[in-house]
Chains A and B, each alone.
Chain A
Amino acid sequence: MIDTINTVARKIPTWLVYLLYVLPIPYFFYSAQTGGMGVEPINALEREMGQITLQLIIIGLAITPLRKYLGLNLLKFRRAIGVLAFSYVVVHLGIWVLLDMNLRWGQMWADIWKRPYITIGMVAFLMMIPLAITSNNLSVRKLGGATWRKLHKLMYLIAPLGAVHFIMVQKVWEVEPMLYLVVILALLATRYKPSRKTAGARAGG
């Protein structure tokens, strides 16, 4: 079963993944403007884009454990997933700046500093920029594999911050955003390696 999926996955070109996620964006805007997202489409669209960003981040974080524990190899799609996550967060932020806040820079600037959920979201966004810029083979070569991997571990911070941002924007404790955080923390936990000392002690015992 896993082998079959791996064989199929090898045949799927990555551009198809890009297409699968890029095409819905204009559709979401069309739907929002034509009433498909309710009578307050700006907020609905903004949240939808944010949520898909988090989903893509989760998919990206799942790729390594899927390979490690299930032998499922989706590594070739990871860059596409990461670049798409960044694209969605840019759209999310763009909706906030243009449609939601109408370029009220004073209010936005104050919000970034004063509102913890916006501060957190903005920090997470800023941390994604270097990752997006270095999502190409040239950058991997220039930085060297080890440094590049180290840099991209920023995702381990970005992902939970994104989920916390989602939780904090709610008026009461909602289940759905909590689930995002739980899944992210679980995926991060799969990467936990006991320190060498502990591992050695265990082996010795």
Chain B
Amino acid sequence: MANRWNNTFTRADITPEPLWLNRRAVLAGMAGAGALGGAVAAQEALVPNTWEEITTYNNFYEFGTGKTDPSDNAGDMVTDPWEITIDGLVDNPGTFALSDLIADMTMEERLYRFRCVEAWSMVIPWNGFELADLLEKAGVQSGATHVAFETAVLPDVMPGVRRNVIDFPYVEGLRLDEAMHPLTIMATGIYDRPLANQSGAPIRLVVPWKYGFKSIKSIVRITLTDEQPATTWNKISDREYGFYSNVNPEVDHPRWSQASERMIGGGLFSSRQDTLMFNGYPEVASLYDGMDLTTNY
């Protein structure tokens, strides 16, 4: 089932590889690329952020609540070896070495928009595989309706866990059809490098049409269930963070507007852009046919 979704352009089309470490050079290069002008302009919104931007502005409360806490504190987490437990309504439950589990998955690059509930965004060139393929391998039983995910809890290397800044483990969940959607991936890398610890190494979920907190990091457990699983931010404030948490410019967070967002990387004078319904992935709209997205936020 891999390769069910493709970028119109890949990173190679729009970013000369030596330049992706330095966004300013990329932008300067674009300005000078007259011949490529049309194609480049069309994809301007999807210029990937630099590795530095992607790895120094993170939310990963296990390592602290500040934006640079994860990059400052996540270095001691050991991500190899890593085990994932797959349980619940599956034919092949068990605890697996990550390397065995993903050995036969088809790795792809997916250049996705990433929209945080805090109204900032990035564009990230993920490497990963479709979650659907992993679920197929696990053998989803017919009664399963939802997938629950859980992040590692490693107090020795996670200062945020020691301080109990929120209730851990961090848990997230998807409806089974959302989990099976071709856009939903399990990422193991960015820019063809292994994920940085602060980005959720060694393996994380990426659901590009939902707010970033749904894309749970450093996963140790995947459970197939027949009920809607609890999710961390929903437990913290169900008025502010719903189970679905689809990017939706029409439904505001009670404390701030979701109508627009700021793309990270433009410096002091970067301009705000309008937030797109489903973060610009209209192909997922049919998953929510007949649902009131104002109440199912």
Q: Flag if A107 contacts B67 (CB, 8 Å).
A: no
- Chain A residues with CB below 8 A from B256, complex form: 111, 115
Count chain B CB atoms within 10 A of each CB in A40, A42, A101, A169 and give the residue with the most.
A40
Q: Flag if B255 contacts A115 (CB, 8 Å).
A: yes
Q: Flag if B68 contacts A33 (CB, 8 Å).
A: no
Complex Cα spacing A101 to B260, Å = 9
Task: Say whether A104 faces chain B, with CB atoms less than 8 Å apart.
Answer: yes
Contact with B along A99-143 (1 / 0, CB 8 A): 111101001001100111100000000000000000000000000
- Chain A residues with CB below 8 A from B259, complex form: 107
Task: Say whether A168 faces chain B, with CB atoms less than 8 Å apart.
Answer: yes
- Chain A residues with CB below 8 A from B255, complex form: 115-117, 168-169
Contact with A along B246-258 (1 / 0, CB 8 A): 0000001001110
Count chain A CB atoms within 10 A of each CB in B56, B236, B262 and give the residue with the most.
B262
- Chain A residues with CB below 8 A from B257, complex form: 107, 110-111, 114-115
**Cross-interface CB contact of B272 among A29, A101, A115, A168, cutoff 8 Å:** A101
Distance (whole angstroms) from the CB of B220 to the closest CB of chain A? 23
Task: Say whether B36 faces chain A, with CB atoms less than 8 Å apart.
Answer: no
Complex Cα spacing A141 to B32, Å = 63
Q: Flag if B68 contacts A172 (CB, 8 Å).
A: no
Task: Say whether A93 faces chain B, with CB atoms less than 8 Å apart.
Answer: no
Complex Cα spacing A144 to B26, Å = 62
Q: Flag if B268 contacts A45 (CB, 8 Å).
A: yes
Q: Give the bracket for the number of chain A residues in contact with chain B.
A: 20 to 34
Q: Flag if B57 contacts A38 (CB, 8 Å).
A: yes
Q: Flag if B165 contacts A33 (CB, 8 Å).
A: no
Consensus secondary structure, chain A interface: helix
Known: A41-B268, A107-B257. A171 touches B57 (CB 8 A): no
Complex Cα spacing A168 to B252, Å = 16
Distance (whole angstroms) from the CB of B191 to the closest CB of chain A? 16
Within 8 A of A (CB), among B193-244: 236
- Chain B residues with CB below 8 A from A169, complex form: 255
Contact with A along B159-200 (1 / 0, CB 8 A): 000000110000000000000000000000000000000000
Task: Say whether B295 faces chain A, with CB atoms less than 8 Å apart.
Answer: no
Known: A111-B256, A172-B166. A38 touches B268 (CB 8 A): no
Complex Cα spacing A101 to B257, Å = 11
- Chain B residues with CB below 8 A from A171, complex form: 65, 118
Q: Flag if A38 contacts B262 (CB, 8 Å).
A: no
Q: Flag if B260 contacts A38 (CB, 8 Å).
A: no
- Chain A residues with CB below 8 A from B260, complex form: 104, 107
Complex Cα spacing A41 to B56, Å = 12
Given contacts A32-B268, A41-B268, A42-B262, 17 further A-B contacts (CB under 8 A): A32-B267, A33-B267, A38-B56, A41-B267, A42-B268, A42-B270, A45-B268, A102-B271, A104-B272, A110-B257, A111-B256, A168-B255, A169-B255, A172-B61, A172-B65, A172-B166, A174-B65
